[in-house]
């Protein structure tokens, strides 16, 4: 195989990595009118079949590589909304 063909085949893989980086958008969670979580990159909403409570699972923004959880009190209403970070 000619070097020119090899470069042509590898070029898309190199270009796919260009311009990457972490998204600047995070989410915030407000429960009962107060901010319960800010800065998470995603939130999973889980229902607990044993006790009937809703649990939120998220990558912990304060401890990289860790997963955090938040149990939503049954009387609270929670709102998950995007929040754009200003750093970068």
Q: 49 — phi, psi (to 5°)?
A: -75, -20
In the chain, count of helices (H) and strands (E)? 1, 6
Distance (Å, whole) CA 79 – CA 24: 20
Q: Where are the domains of the chain?
A: 21-84
The full length of the chain comes to 88
pLDDT of residue 70: 87
Distance (Å, whole) CA 29 – CA 22: 20
pLDDT in tens, 29-71: 888 888 888 999 999 988 776 677 888 899 988 888 999 998 8
pLDDT in tens, 1-29: 444 444 444 444 444 445 555 555 899 98
pLDDT of residue 67: 93
**pTM for this structure?**
0.60
Between 75 and 62, where is the model more confident? 62
Please list the residues that pair with 7 across neighbouring strands.
Answer: none
pLDDT of residue 23: 52
């Amino acid at each position: 195989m000619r070097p020119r063909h090899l470069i042509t085949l590898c070029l898309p893989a190199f270009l796919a990595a260009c311009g990457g980086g972490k998204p600047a958008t995070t989410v915030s969670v407000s429960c009962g009118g107060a901010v319960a979580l800010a800065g998470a990159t995603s939130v999973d909403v889980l229902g607990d079949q044993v006790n009937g409570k809703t649990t939120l699972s998220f990558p912990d923004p304060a401890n990289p590589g860790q997963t955090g959880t938040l149990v939503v009190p049954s009387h609270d209403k929670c709102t998950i909304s995007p929040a754009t970070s200003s750093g970068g």
